[in-house]
Amino acid sequence: MNTKFARKEEFYNGTHSRDWWIVNAEGMTLGRMATKISHVLRGKHKAFFSPHVDTGDFVIVVNAEKIHVSGKKNVEKMYYHHTGYPGGIKSSKFYELQEKHPERIVEGAVKGMMPKNGLNRRTIRRLKVYSGSEHPHESQQPRPLNI
């Protein structure tokens, strides 16, 4: 028996194509949605998945400001970033970040569920997150992703 492995040349020559998926995040739980999105970004939903080749698809997330979290995470969950200067750690709560930059919440959750390697940097660029219901990718004809 021969096992077929995906090669990166097949994706650049057009033998395999990258599909476009759209996710409406309104009323969805953050973690459950992020796991499914990371699954599709890596390409694990395809029959010819190989962990050493970037076989994933594009994912568009709309209505990121209407995402939900379970329990008291809405009030208690903290997000941290460092400015690079001594004593420059900054923190904000989930609801504060959801008002100002809801895209960062989804991007951070999906990025945290991706493997920490070189393919991750290329894969995470195919995630497009928008706070409202409008997006500029209508010409790619994205299909709805059922979560």
All domains of the chain, ordered by start, with CATH?
17-68+100-144 (3.90.1180.10)
pLDDT in tens, the chain (147 residues): 787 777 777 766 666 778 999 999 999 999 999 999 999 999 999 888 888 888 899 999 999 999 999 999 999 999 999 999 999 999 999 999 999 999 999 999 999 999 999 888 889 999 999 999 999 999 999 999 998
Separation CA 44–CA 53 (nearest Å): 11
Residue 59: closest CA among 126, 120, 140, 130: 126
Indicate the helix (H) or strand (E) that contains 23. Answer: strand 20-24
3-state secondary structure of 8: helix
Rounded to two decimals, the pTM is 0.89
